[in-house]
Amino acid sequence: MSSNKQNDDIVATPVATHVDPRFAIARQLLDPAITPDRTRVRPLTNLPEAGDELVTMAHMHVAVHGGSLRTFTGNLAHENGWWPSYKRRRLQYWEGMTQRAYLMRCEVDQEVEWAQSERRRFEFPLNGRLRRYTCDVEVQKTDGSVEIVELKRNERDLEDEDYRHTLAGVAEICRRCGWTFKIVLAPEIFVSRHHRDNVELFQSRRFARVSPDHIRRLDSFALKCGLVSSYGELAEVIEPGFAPGGMAVLQALLVRGRISIDLTQPIFHETPVRIV
């Protein structure tokens, strides 16, 4: 069953209102001066021109409540569902395990303020026709920057030339707005099996109860002993006499941005922890 947003639940704004005036308007889809990476989804030769109408006639659409524009329940050939985010304070719709994994990684990423799936739809003219694109994830970073993320299982999902044109148009709109457009493949989400396991564990504790006593013990320890400790020691400080409970609270505190741990490495009692 498919669920479509009513028009009065969606806010449409001209892209021109988001454009950063400090950026020069290029005539090509991507600036040749930009360092090559996967975001350059078109070769530099035979590019269609992206005139000013790419921005002046383009619109972006977001839901009034800030949630997902695309929602589906059942009747799909692949996994889909809902996942509650502590950072975003709302349910996140996901379609496919790649999108779910990326949302979980954002939940424990110290540089991410929040991430929202299916949040923004772009409509713009390119190559003689109107194109529509809904991003897989929009990420608000802690430094105020914005990332628009397209998720794919592998490179084969990018073989369609017309679809690459659409992605290139979105990439140029994002560039002119001062945002970052990224294409992330499933194998790139986690750097190792340890990373994946740690992300799944820590995000699973995102709603664990963090009491005022826990925060007081954490702050008191930081004042007396400094900002760097170990995973096992800090768990005992947070929940004296019950280290497993202290570890669960530490995992929730990482989601809340109060501590920092390298999740790409195996975690032991001796693993360094920095209090933020």
pLDDT, tens digit, 9 for 90 and up, residues 24-49: 433 334 444 444 445 445 443 444 55
pTM recorded for the entire structure: 0.83
User: Could you tell me the CATH number of the domain that includes residue 206?
Assistant: 1.10.10
Regarding whether 177 and 44 lie in a shared domain, the answer is: yes
Regarding whether 166 and 93 lie in a shared domain, the answer is: yes
Regarding whether 205 and 137 lie in a shared domain, the answer is: no
Regarding whether 162 and 32 lie in a shared domain, the answer is: yes
Across the chain, mean pLDDT equals: 85
Regarding whether 252 and 236 lie in a shared domain, the answer is: yes
Regarding whether 64 and 177 lie in a shared domain, the answer is: yes
Residues above pLDDT 70, as percent of the chain:
81
Regarding whether 102 and 6 lie in a shared domain, the answer is: yes
249 or 55, higher pLDDT: 249
Regarding whether 165 and 80 lie in a shared domain, the answer is: yes
Regarding whether 249 and 176 lie in a shared domain, the answer is: no
Give the end of a domain, one of 165, 188, 211.
188
- How many domains does the chain divide into? 2
User: Could you tell me the CATH number of the domain that includes residue 56?
Assistant: 3.40.1350.10
Regarding whether 66 and 166 lie in a shared domain, the answer is: yes
Regarding whether 178 and 93 lie in a shared domain, the answer is: yes
- 3-state SS of the chain is CEEECCHHHEEEEEHHHCCCCCCCCCCCCCCCCCCCCCCCCCCCCCCCCCCCHHHHCCEEEEECCCCCCEEECCCCCCCEEEEEECCCCEEEEEECHHHHHHHHHHHHCCCEEEEEECCEEEEEEECCEEEEEECCEEEEECCCCEEEEEEECCHHHHCCHHHHHHHHHHHHHHHHHCCEEEEEEHHHCCCCHHHHHHHHHHHHCCCCCCCHHHHHHHHHHHHHHCCEEEHHHHHHHHCCCCHHHHHHHHHHHHHCCCEECCCCCCCCCCCEEEEC
Domain enclosing residue 105, as ranges: 2-188
